[in-house]
A and B are shown apart, each in its own frame.
Chain A
Amino acid sequence: MIDVIETTLAWRRLSPRMLVIHPFQEVVRAAPALLGLLVAGTSSGGQGQWWSIGGVGLMVVLGMLRWFTTTYRITPEHVQVRRGLLTRKVVTVPRDRVRTVDVTSHVLHRVLGLARVEVGTGTSERRREGRLKLDALTAAEAARLRVELLHRSPAAPVTPSEGAPVAEGAPVAAPVAPPAGSTPAAETELARMRPAWVRFGPFTMSGLVTVGVIAGFASRLVSEGNVDLGRVGPVQETWRWFSAMSLLLEIATVVLVLAVFVSVASTLGYVLAFGNFRLTRHTEGTLHVTRGLLTTRATTIEERRLRGVEVSEPLLLRAVRGARLSAVTTGLRTAQGSQRGGSMLLPPAPRADAVSVARLVLPRAAGTPSAAPATPASPATSASVASSAVEASPVTADLTAHGPAALRRRFTRAYGVHALVLAVLLALWWWAGLPSWTWLTAAALLPLTALLAADRYRSLGHALTSGYLVTRWGSLSRRRVALECDGVIGWNIERSFFQRRARLATLTATTAAGKQGYQVPDVDLAEALRLAAAGTPGLLDPFLVKAQHVS
């Protein structure tokens, strides 16, 4: 038997153990329906249940067919996956385009010692075609594939060690199966999960999703099983007790119950998703993130594709001085929510830890002197520039505020939206008979809008330090992005009618990494141009003129 990584030209199949997993997966997916059928029994009669069972059976068969129709191979130049029953399709990815490799094992996968491999390429992440997914290989094969694809050992001819240590059910961490050929990667640990971090769990709000899922599950169970909730004893009791209370107490109870439930679910979710978290750096130039208690996930990011980091502080997390850190890199979807997306570098953790990890991760600005000290005005600033060699890390450097015009704009925009909502509610109340408490509540929230606007202004800031463009914005979800200037492709400078009147502009640095473009919102036009000119030396010069008239 030839080893998988060996550049054989034979097409290989996924692990046959997937034949066991597919039926399981489909049954789990159809669980609410099946449970409903069980509850309903045969009392309702009819054919609905047969349709459901038939549907599940069909899904199982299709799932198993997928195993028979999917094959892959790794040639010296390409990774190819061939799939499809009626329309055969071959996805080919040149190996030097491989940017990231993501290895995930769900619970079932782990029981059977399997792992799913997802290969990220540099193609635009909006389209999914460029992504290549192998669901699933044995854990050892997956680990070896990852090492082989990212740590391009120059054509190491290898005698495959048959029966490599197959770590059944073990989390697919890097050192599980060192590739037979290359030397075991020397890794340094940059961060590791600490039990104290769990205190940030309740503030991630990820439990909201869980509540939604449970609610959906329950409603399906009720509808498919024809359960009449009103007749279930405990529910009836609770309802009677609940409706005996006053309205205020009712609201308080609901909020309290929801808050407790969401925090518990969020904490659980945090532990499950980020337990065993480790961030390591390998000497071959990759960053490696492993995490997860039940579902394990291992993401490898090529460091030379790393263009920066994003420190995000959602309001709740910010209140308890927490932050999360993600990578801005080509070839990875940007993080959505707390768990999705492979670009995560640090789960919700103390802000100080996020900052120190960010410092470790960011590539050192290669000798570029802190680009063009912005305002060579006061001796104080020049002193801080002098000490920048030590201090001005892009994640901690002081940011330039955007000035009174930006502040005014925050307030006009916040109150503009609020006034619009208020007007609509008033109109609906006047003509369509909407209850009056809706607009009264909206009016009562006016001070909150002011706070929000003020905080949004406080968040606004930018800097250009040691080869990085730094921008920060947002209040409910505050983000600070440090983007390497070398990763900036071009600039978009947008000015609406009102921005032109206030001499402001929204500067967008376009890049191939992360969200593809990062904004410096509502910055003074001259400052925007200075940033752009300093960020990409020479690009703007032919188009800049001395201001002799107001445009």
Chain B
Amino acid sequence: MDTPTLRSPQHRVSRTAVWYWTARAALGWLVLLAAQVVWLVADGDGDKWPATTHVTVLVVTAVAAVAHVTVMPQWRYRVHRWEATSAAVFTQSGWFKQEWRIAPVSRIQTVDSERGPLEQIFRLANVTVTTASAAGPIKVSGLDRDTAQRLVAELTATAQATAGDAT
């Protein structure tokens, strides 16, 4: 007996998403590094923490940051995929921890599209599909704007066609 397995959803997200994820991760790390620099300056020549501690922590953070910022976006781009049929929405996301999410279109409650400030810069948008369950919102991030709009329109149209309580 052959064991069936799940294929990947059809569509990749926009290539620009790589840069968006890179920028987002880099910003997070910059905040952390800045905090450490502030700590270093505030500590000054205080004898509470020796300079070697400061330098070690800084170097460790910097190495982790570089590794994360170079590896994560590429890996993520290879994983992130989405697909919407007339019956179901199917996504694959994550990188180190990956996840498939499937929800039937008939159970869709809301379809939102959102553009954060950083996403605006890269001209990207994300689409969130919620169901009656608080555990299962399906999010497709890193779509280019046109695709996002098309997806939203498509999903709302099909969701309206199948009316019901959806709980």
Identify the A interface with B (CB < 8 A).
Answer: 122, 124-126, 330, 489-497, 500, 508, 510-512, 515-517, 525-526, 529-530, 532-533, 536, 538-540, 542-547, 551
What are 29 pairs between A and B in contact, CB < 8 Å? A489-B104, A489-B131, A489-B132, A490-B102, A490-B131, A490-B133, A492-B99, A492-B101, A493-B100, A495-B97, A495-B99, A500-B98, A508-B136, A510-B133, A511-B135, A517-B134, A529-B4, A529-B6, A542-B85, A542-B87, A542-B88, A543-B83, A543-B90, A543-B102, A544-B7, A545-B5, A547-B3, A547-B4, A547-B5
> A124-B134, A490-B101, A544-B7 known; 9 other A-B pairs, CB under 8 Å?
A489-B133, A490-B103, A491-B102, A492-B136, A495-B99, A526-B5, A538-B87, A539-B87, A544-B6
Over the window 131-161 of chain B, the binary record of Cβ atoms lying under 8 Å from chain A Cβ atoms (1 yes, 0 no) is: 1111110100000000000000000000000
Interface check B2, CB cutoff 8 A = yes
Is the Cβ of A512 less than 8 Å from the Cβ of B5?
Answer: no
Rounded to whole angstroms, the CA-CA distance of A86 and B14 in the bound complex is 49
Of chain B, the residue at the smallest CB distance from A547 is B5
Rounded to whole angstroms, the CA-CA distance of A125 and B132 in the bound complex is 11
Minimum C-beta distance from B80 to chain A (A): 15
Rounded to whole angstroms, the CA-CA distance of A316 and B98 in the bound complex is 36
Is the Cβ of B4 less than 8 Å from the Cβ of A489?
Answer: no
Of chain B, the residue at the smallest CB distance from A499 is B97
Rounded to whole angstroms, the CA-CA distance of A495 and B4 in the bound complex is 17
Residues of A with C-beta under 8 A to B85 = 542
Residues of A with C-beta under 8 A to B88 = 539, 542-543
Rounded to whole angstroms, the CA-CA distance of A495 and B9 in the bound complex is 16
Contact pick for A490, options B4, B9, B104, CB 8 Å: B104
Of chain A, the residue at the smallest CB distance from B3 is A526
Is the Cβ of B99 less than 8 Å from the Cβ of A493?
Answer: yes
Interface check B56, CB cutoff 8 A = no
Is the Cβ of A492 less than 8 Å from the Cβ of B100?
Answer: yes
The residue among B7, B87, B101, B132 with the most chain A CB atoms within 10 A of its own CB is: B132
Rounded to whole angstroms, the CA-CA distance of A511 and B133 in the bound complex is 5
Is the Cβ of B6 less than 8 Å from the Cβ of A543?
Answer: yes
Minimum C-beta distance from A95 to chain B (A): 15
Residues of A with C-beta under 8 A to B2 = 546-547
Interface check B52, CB cutoff 8 A = no
Q: Which 3 A-B pairs have the closest CB atoms?
A: A517-B135, A510-B136, A490-B103
Count contacts on B: residues with CB < 8 A to the other chain.
Answer: 30
Rounded to whole angstroms, the CA-CA distance of A532 and B135 in the bound complex is 16
Rounded to whole angstroms, the CA-CA distance of A551 and B5 in the bound complex is 9
Of chain A, the residue at the smallest CB distance from B137 is A510
Is the Cβ of B135 less than 8 Å from the Cβ of A492?
Answer: yes
Identify the B interface with A (CB < 8 A).
Answer: 2-7, 9, 83, 85, 87-88, 90, 96-104, 107, 131-136, 138, 167
Is the Cβ of A330 less than 8 Å from the Cβ of B99?
Answer: no
Residues of B with C-beta under 8 A to A492 = 99-102, 135-136
Rounded to whole angstroms, the CA-CA distance of A221 and B99 in the bound complex is 52
Residues of B with C-beta under 8 A to A490 = 101-104, 107, 131, 133, 136, 138
Residues of A with C-beta under 8 A to B87 = 538-539, 542
Is the Cβ of B101 less than 8 Å from the Cβ of A491?
Answer: yes
Is the Cβ of A494 less than 8 Å from the Cβ of B98?
Answer: yes
Minimum C-beta distance from A134 to chain B (A): 24
Contact pick for B96, options A489, A496, A508, A540, CB 8 Å: A496
Rounded to whole angstroms, the CA-CA distance of A313 and B122 in the bound complex is 51
Is the Cβ of B5 less than 8 Å from the Cβ of A497?
Answer: no
Of chain B, the residue at the smallest CB distance from A528 is B6
Is the Cβ of A536 less than 8 Å from the Cβ of B5?
Answer: no
Contact pick for A493, options B6, B103, B132, CB 8 Å: B6
Of chain A, the residue at the smallest CB distance from B129 is A490
The residue among B87, B97, B133, B138 with the most chain A CB atoms within 10 A of its own CB is: B133
Of chain A, the residue at the smallest CB distance from B95 is A497
The residue among A489, A496, A515, A536 with the most chain B CB atoms within 10 A of its own CB is: A489
Residues of B with C-beta under 8 A to A515 = 135
Of chain B, the residue at the smallest CB distance from A123 is B132
Is the Cβ of B104 less than 8 Å from the Cβ of A536?
Answer: yes
Minimum C-beta distance from B97 to chain A (A): 4
Rounded to whole angstroms, the CA-CA distance of A536 and B5 in the bound complex is 16
Is the Cβ of B133 less than 8 Å from the Cβ of A516?
Answer: yes
Given A491-B102, A495-B99, A510-B103: A126 and B134 interface contact (C-beta under 8 Å): yes
Is the Cβ of A543 less than 8 Å from the Cβ of B135?
Answer: no
Residues of B with C-beta under 8 A to A539 = 87-88, 102, 104
Rounded to whole angstroms, the CA-CA distance of A150 and B112 in the bound complex is 33
Minimum C-beta distance from B104 to chain A (A): 6
Rounded to whole angstroms, the CA-CA distance of A257 and B136 in the bound complex is 47
Rounded to whole angstroms, the CA-CA distance of A551 and B98 in the bound complex is 12
Is the Cβ of A122 less than 8 Å from the Cβ of B7?
Answer: no
Residues of A with C-beta under 8 A to B7 = 543-545
Of chain A, the residue at the smallest CB distance from B101 is A492
Is the Cβ of B97 less than 8 Å from the Cβ of A496?
Answer: yes
Rounded to whole angstroms, the CA-CA distance of A90 and B133 in the bound complex is 26
Residues of B with C-beta under 8 A to A517 = 133-136
Contact pick for B4, options A122, A491, A508, A545, CB 8 Å: A545
Minimum C-beta distance from A100 to chain B (A): 14
Of chain A, the residue at the smallest CB distance from B104 is A539
Rounded to whole angstroms, the CA-CA distance of A543 and B3 in the bound complex is 14
Minimum C-beta distance from A396 to chain B (A): 27
The residue among B83, B90, B102, B107 with the most chain A CB atoms within 10 A of its own CB is: B102
Contact pick for B9, options A497, A529, A530, A543, CB 8 Å: A543
